[in-house]
Each structure stands twice: as C-alpha cells, then as structure tokens.
Amino acid sequence: MFKKKVATLLASVLLITSSFPVISSAAAEFSKDLEKDELKVSPDPTEEQSSEESVSNEADSQETETSTEIEETTEETIENPDVEIIGEAPVEEEPLQDYTTPYAAALPNDPNIINIDKVFQNPIGDSTSILEGGRLLQLNPAEKSQRGAIWSKKPISLLSDFTFKSYLYLGDQQGNAGDGMTFTLTNDDRMTSAPDQVIGSTGMGIGSYSTKSGQPYLRKSLSVEFDTYKNQGSADRMDREIGGDTGGRGHVAFVTPKENNNNYSGEHSGVTVAPANLSNGTWRMLIVQWDAASKQLMYNLEGVGSASYTVDDLNAKFGSTNVYWGFTSSTGGKFQENALAMTQIPTNVQSLAELSVNDEPFATDVEAVENDKITIKNTLNVANELNIHHHQFAEDRQPQVSIELPPKLMYEEGSLTVDGKAVAPEDISIVDSRVILNLDNYLVMEQDMAIELTAKLQGTTPEEVLAMNFEYSEEAELIQRSNQATIKIAKPKDKTLTVFYKDLLTDQDIADPKPITGLIGADYQESPVDVVGFVFKNDSGNAEGVFAEDSQDIYFYYRTGELYISEAPSQVSFGTNKISNTSLIKFGEVDQGLRIMDERKEGAWRLQLKQAQPLTNGTVEMPEVLSFVTDSGTAKISAAAITIAESDQKAETDLSGLLDHTKHRGIQTEIPVEYQRTGTFKGMLSWSLEDVPAN
C-alpha cells in the first residue's frame, strides 16, 4: 500500500504582492547581590557584639500542504583591623575563696601546690626567694626599691598548648601599693650568654620594661602585667591610656617590653581594670593558657577578669618558636609583697599525632577510602621538670593520654600499644568515642613514647575531612593537646557514565549503549550519533559537564524517521502579460524550492503533481494550459497526476533545480489566443509524495 502526502499550490497569471513579517525576540536577566561585611566590636574579652546584614537580589510533520498564489512580489570582601579598647572591663565579682593572710608565707590550703625548687634557674637580684620547702616563690618582700626576676631552666615550645596555674599574692597595701609583677615569655638572647642580665627596669618597669631610653628591658618578650600603681604623671606616663581606674585599684594587661615603654599610649593590650584593690591581702587563682592553633595567650585572674592576645608571627615576636617562662617584679617609693604558689607549670610535654593508611609511612595529613585500615600514632615526651622518679610522678599526677575518634573511625579492640607492647585491658577505658589510656604503668619520662591504635574507616563521604588530636592530662586536667591530624576521604580516581540511545516512544535501545570514563573533575562532552531510520529529538540535559561522584548517565532520545516534503513552492507567478495574437508561453517563477526528506531506514518514494483547479478568472476557465518541463521532456499537467521524480535516496533530496525558470524548467503555461482575457487567473496545483517499496 502506498502512503501519499499532498502539497497544493495556487497559480496565478497576475502579479500579486505579498509581505512577510520579521519576528525577533530578546530576553534579558539582571540580578544583583549586595552583601555587607560583618562587623564585630568587642569592648572587652568577655563581651562580643555582632551585626550582620545581607541583601541579595537574584515540529513534527507527517503531511505538508502548501497553497501558492502566483504573484510578482515587491517589497536586530573587611578584614577589620584589630581594635583595642582600653578601659575597665565589666566584671561580675565572684566570691573569692578565703585565702586572706597578712603574710605571704602562709600558703593557701591546697594540696595541689607543687614543689618548684628544681624548675627555675638562679634568681636575678637579691629580692627573689623560693620558700616553704620549694612551694612558695617570693619575687620580692614588702620593701621599697626591689627588683627581681626568675626564669625556667628549660624553654617550652609554642607549637604546643600549655597551661599555667598559680595562686597570686600582691601584698596587702591596698591603695598604697607599687609596682607589681609580670608573668613573661621571653627568648632574650642573653639567656644563654648572660642570664643574670635578663631583667628590666625597676619601679614602673616592673622588672620587665624600660622606663626610658638606655634603661634595661627584656628582649623578644611578652608580659602579662599585674600592675598595682597607675603611672599617669608627665615623667611616668605609661598608664595614662588606661581609663576606668580612677581610684588606682590596679589592672591586668599584656605589654611588649621594648627600648622605651614610657609613652602616653600604645603600650597595653587586653586591659582589665580590677574591681577592687589588687593589693588587698588576698590570694587569687591565676590561669595563663597558650593556644598553639590560634596563637593566643590568655589570662584569667580570679575575681578580676580575663583577656587574650594574639601573636600573629612567633618568629617576629620572639625570634623563635621556643621561649623561657618566668616572672619579674619591682617596687619603687611604694611597695608590696609579690608571691606565687603554683599548682600547674608550663610543661615541656611534646605531643605529635600522625596517621598511617594500610601500613604506609606516617604523616599528619593522609588520604584514605572506605574500609582502609588507619593506624593512629601519638609520639609523647613528658619532661621531668621536677626531677622526680617517673613512678612517683605517675602516682602523684595520674597521667593519661586520650583521643576522641571521629564517628566514622571504628576502634579495633585490643589494638592499643605503647612502644610496640600491648596495653592491658584494665588500663583502657572508652567513653563514647573517646579512647583513654592510663599511663601509670607505661610512662617513661624524658624520652619519646610511641602510643598506637588502629581503626577502620566506614561510612565515609568523598572529600570529607576527619580531624583528631591526642590530649595529655594530669589529675584529669588537660596539660597538652597534640597537633591536629586529618584524614581526607579520597575522591574515586575515575567515574564511568553510560550513554544510551533511546526510542522516544518505546524507550527501547536503538543503538548499543556506550560507556565513557574520566577522572573526577575532568570535562566531558557527548553528541548524538546518527541512527539509520531515526532522528534525534532531545537529550537528558547532561550531555556536557564535569565528571563527578554523583554524575548521572546520559540519554539521547530519537523519533522514528519519516518521509515528507520538507519544502515546496507556495506560489508560482507568471507575471503580468499583454493580450497577444499568438499563444502566450511563459515559465512560472516559484517562491520556494522543492525538497524531499526521507528519514526512514528503508523504502523508496515517488513525487507527483496534478492540477487541482484549472486557471480561471471566475468567468473564463483555461483547461490544461499548464505543463511540467524537464530536460528530458514535457508532460501536461491535468487532473491526472504525473510523476516528477522517483528515488530511494535517504535524507534530503533537493529537486529545486527542476523549477528553474531561467533554464526553461518547471511549470510552463501555454495560453492560446482564444483564452486570453483581461483579469486575474488563478488555479491550484497539488504535490503528492508516495511511499513505494524499494527495488
């Protein structure tokens, strides 16, 4: 059975004018995002205000029918710099423990006070003494014109955290005290060549600073001062910048010693003004902590307040990452007793966390995938600052090391070892995800200990980062936190996608699926392939992209191939002609070409033409005056269809050359004299396309 597709055209012998609209469209989008920088102002270390404002402005065709009139046609981001606000910090007074005593030698009743006689170098000056069997450090007695300093025997590393705790006594002179004391970190070059010279000026210098050019001061240092006298004169003006202390109660602050600290401003950071006299016969608990990750030094003085100071560049500040720690003090015309009773000293505990994946070499940052075996190692070295036997140390301090494992690391029971030897189960406790090791039976001081455990990686997400560190504690108090070790979950090395070619209606494969593989992060671009008998319609929207873990397969959809007239004349114009005494012979000029599209896999086609309506002006009819002329002959166009072309060619066949009037091809009219009349003559021709079996 033949399938016939018909196209019609209107023929006219008069000149007709047509107009064609030009359609254009444009689209535009505009979006604008404004985001204001976040601004934070902190008037003191315990209060923080923040304001944040953000504004964000963000044809298918089975048949073709064409009517043709035959006519002649005539006719385009703020980093806010550190802002220091010096003044009295609002402090909510806490009830102090009853440490009041008229004598510094009467120690607080605390069994945690430690013996420090083995910790320090020889004191500098005649005023500093270690008393009470090594449990009391008196920097100076309550006498005029005193100056003293004392420094640790060993430096500590600022690449690790430390905590210092001590009771602090600043005499009982009330508002008549002077001048104070400091806790200081220093890397003064003279510490190795002339340690007895590592001391600053007296009086306002508090044994740390220079009161004027040429006076002694500590080099490469940072002090936390406990200043009981406000120097606000013209000659002694260092404390003029401190507001709020109108009664001269005293203050705590960070100060960097330098060649001349006697300036009107710029000497103090992190100032807290005492709510009552610092020199009031009271022992106060002082805590000084160093956070290696943020490079922050923090003080907290009981009943007074707290603040922090960031050291942006350790080498610029100290010339090293190792510093000595110690104390300085002084008195002038006014005086007070300065003393400490320590419960925790900055220890030289070195703690390094490292990781190994599947027994590969250890590193602080590793990459792993699901089900990998992770060995977690802590290299721990505990310095013997007090020079006591490690068994006695372990008994007194109850040292422990612990690690909190990320949820996706599953601890393998029985894997914990110290220096390669298995740890007894009774020395291990697990609280939630924290593994805790009691070191009583394993601690060896002044040398590296290797503590290892293994875990399995489960339930991970690519590119996720798991972080962990070890914590060393004594008497349940954190002493040292190791560096952070991280596991980055690796991305798969490559990703494979499948490209499918589907029939849009049946969803059946019309060509073999094709796999494509690429590294995660690499670009890909796929195009539809030619499939005989089918025509590409659309895709799944991801034919071009980047390989990613969640990339989806690619689909190209096709429709079944069709046979149709893709282009045919809509009008044939023979122009305007004069009545003649001879037959009028004229080739028509078409407005479009003639093309056939065969998208099918197989089969042939036949193009035919017939006259659907003869030329007429409404009164006179001109029968059979049209012919179709080719290079091989002429065929009369009548109500019976004539074959114009026949082929089994696939894709597009261009027959436009058959309608070239300039070469005397195509539709010709021959009007005898008897049919020539004035007026407009119109008719209709019909194209038909038949599906015929291939040979």
Phi, psi of 306 (to 5 degrees): -140, 160
Give the mean model confidence (pLDDT) for residues 256-283.
92
* Residue 539 preceded by cis peptide, ω within 30: no
Q: How many angstroms separate the CA atoms of 218 and 125, rounded?
A: 15
Please tell me whether residue 191 adopts helix, strand or coil conformation: helix
User: What is the CATH number for 500?
Assistant: 3.10.20.320
Give the mean model confidence (pLDDT) for residues 382-396.
76
Confidence at residue 503, expressed as pLDDT on a 0 to 100 scale: 97
Give the CA count within 13 Å in the CB-facing half-sphere of 445.
Answer: 17
In terms of residues, how long is the chain? Answer: 695
> Does residue 271 share a domain with residue 178?
yes
Query: Is residue 7 domain-resident?
Result: no
pLDDT in tens, 420-457: 999 999 999 999 999 999 999 999 888 899 999 999 99
Count of CB atoms situated within 10 Å of the CB of 222: 23
pLDDT in tens, 297-308: 999 999 999 999
Confidence at residue 178, expressed as pLDDT on a 0 to 100 scale: 85
Query: Is residue 136 domain-resident?
Result: no
pLDDT in tens, 305-318: 999 999 999 999 99
**Residue 666 scores a pLDDT above 50:** yes
Of the candidates 562, 630, 575, 653, the one whose C-alpha atom is nearest the C-alpha of residue 601 is 562
Q: How many angstroms separate the CA atoms of 107 and 461, rounded?
A: 56
Instruction: Identify which has the larger pLDDT, 104 or 73.
Output: 104
Q: How many angstroms separate the CA atoms of 184 and 318, rounded?
A: 12
> Does residue 567 share a domain with residue 556?
no
| 3-state percent helix, strand, coil for the chain, nearest multiple of 5 | 5, 45, 50
How would residue 234 be classed by pLDDT, with cut points 50, 70 and 90? Answer: confident
Residue 643 structure tokens: 């074959």
Please tell me whether residue 185 adopts helix, strand or coil conformation: strand
Please tell me whether residue 565 adopts helix, strand or coil conformation: strand
pLDDT in tens, 503-539: 999 999 999 999 999 987 789 999 999 999 999 999 9
How would residue 387 be classed by pLDDT, with cut points 50, 70 and 90? Answer: low
Query: Is residue 297 domain-resident?
Result: yes
Which of 489, 515, 543 is the last residue in one of the domains? 489
In the chain, how long is the greatest CA-to-CA distance? 147
Q: Which residues pair with 130 in a beta bridge?
A: 137
Confidence at residue 385, expressed as pLDDT on a 0 to 100 scale: 58
> Does residue 528 share a domain with residue 600?
no
Domain range for residue 518?
494-560
**Residue 98 scores a pLDDT above 70:** no
Confidence at residue 668, expressed as pLDDT on a 0 to 100 scale: 96
> Does residue 330 share a domain with residue 414?
no
Please tell me whether residue 661 adopts helix, strand or coil conformation: helix
Give the mean model confidence (pLDDT) for residues 215-223.
96
**Residue 101 scores a pLDDT above 50:** no
Which residues, including other chains, have CB under 8 Å from residue 216's CB and lie 6 or more apart? 197, 199, 200, 201, 205, 210
Q: Which residues pair with 9 in a beta bridge?
A: 685
Query: Is residue 98 domain-resident?
Result: no
Query: Is residue 60 domain-resident?
Result: no
Instruction: Identify which has the larger pLDDT, 28 or 429.
Output: 429
Confidence at residue 463, expressed as pLDDT on a 0 to 100 scale: 86
Query: Is residue 32 domain-resident?
Result: no
Instruction: Identify which has the larger pLDDT, 82 or 179.
Output: 179
Instruction: Identify which has the larger pLDDT, 668 or 90.
Output: 668
Of the candidates 439, 505, 500, the one whose C-alpha atom is nearest the C-alpha of residue 475 is 439
How would residue 390 be classed by pLDDT, with cut points 50, 70 and 90? Answer: confident
Angle at 150 between CA 145 and CA 153, to 5 degrees: 165
Angle at 628 between CA 622 and CA 631, to 5 degrees: 150
Sheet holding 666-671, edge to edge: 584-587, 666-671, 626-630, 633-636
> Does residue 683 share a domain with residue 652?
yes
> Does residue 457 share a domain with residue 387?
yes
Q: Which residues pair with 322 in a beta bridge?
A: 157
pLDDT in tens, 533-552: 999 999 999 999 999 878 99
Which of 560, 583, 608 is the last residue in one of the domains? 560
User: What is the CATH number for 174?
Assistant: 2.60.120.200
Instruction: Identify which has the larger pLDDT, 472 or 233.
Output: 472
How would residue 386 be classed by pLDDT, with cut points 50, 70 and 90? Answer: low
> Does residue 660 share a domain with residue 568?
yes
Q: How many domains would you assign to the chain?
A: 4
One-letter-per-residue 3-state SS of 135-168: CEEEEECCCCCCEEEEEECCCEECCCCEEEEEEE
**Residue 67 scores a pLDDT above 60:** no
Q: How many angstroms separate the CA atoms of 517 and 497, rounded?
A: 6
Q: Are 279 and 173 in contact (CB under 8 A)?
A: yes
Confidence at residue 313, expressed as pLDDT on a 0 to 100 scale: 96
Q: Are 114 and 345 in contact (CB under 8 A)?
A: yes
How would residue 607 be classed by pLDDT, with cut points 50, 70 and 90? Answer: very high
User: What is the CATH number for 368?
Assistant: 2.60.40.740
Q: Are 170 and 278 in contact (CB under 8 A)?
A: yes
Query: What does each C-alpha distance from 420 to 57, 391, 416, 449, 451 come to in angstroms?
Result: 61, 20, 9, 10, 8
For the chain, the average pLDDT equals: 83
Q: How many angstroms separate the CA atoms of 472 and 478, rounded?
A: 6
Query: Is residue 27 domain-resident?
Result: no
> Does residue 271 share a domain with residue 181?
yes
**Residue 466 scores a pLDDT above 60:** yes
Query: Is residue 38 domain-resident?
Result: no
pTM score: 0.47
Residue 575 structure tokens: 């122009």
Please spell the DSSP secondary structure of 224-252, one letter per residue.
Answer: EEEE-S---SSSS-TTTT--S-TT---EE
Of the candidates 45, 289, 312, the one whose C-alpha atom is nearest the C-alpha of residue 160 is 289
User: What is the CATH number for 648?
Assistant: 2.60.40
Which of 509, 527, 560 is the last residue in one of the domains? 560
How would residue 367 be classed by pLDDT, with cut points 50, 70 and 90? Answer: very high
Query: What does each C-alpha distance from 73 to 18, 272, 563, 573, 575 come to in angstroms?
Result: 6, 95, 31, 9, 10
> Does residue 373 share a domain with residue 228?
no
**Residue 27 scores a pLDDT above 70:** no
Q: How many angstroms separate the CA atoms of 183 and 239, rounded?
A: 18
Residue 188 structure tokens: 């003064």
One-letter-per-residue 3-state SS of 277-300: CCCCCCEEEEEEEEECCCCEEEEE
Please tell me whether residue 518 adopts helix, strand or coil conformation: strand
> Does residue 624 share a domain with residue 545?
no
Give the CA count within 13 Å in the CB-facing half-sphere of 471.
Answer: 16
Rg (CA), the chain: 48
> Does residue 482 share a domain with residue 532?
no
- What is the amino acid identity at position 688? S
Which residues, including other chains, have CB under 8 Å from residue 566's CB and lie 6 or more apart? 64, 595, 596, 597, 652
> Does residue 387 share a domain with residue 284?
no
Q: How many angstroms separate the CA atoms of 163 and 148, rounded?
A: 23
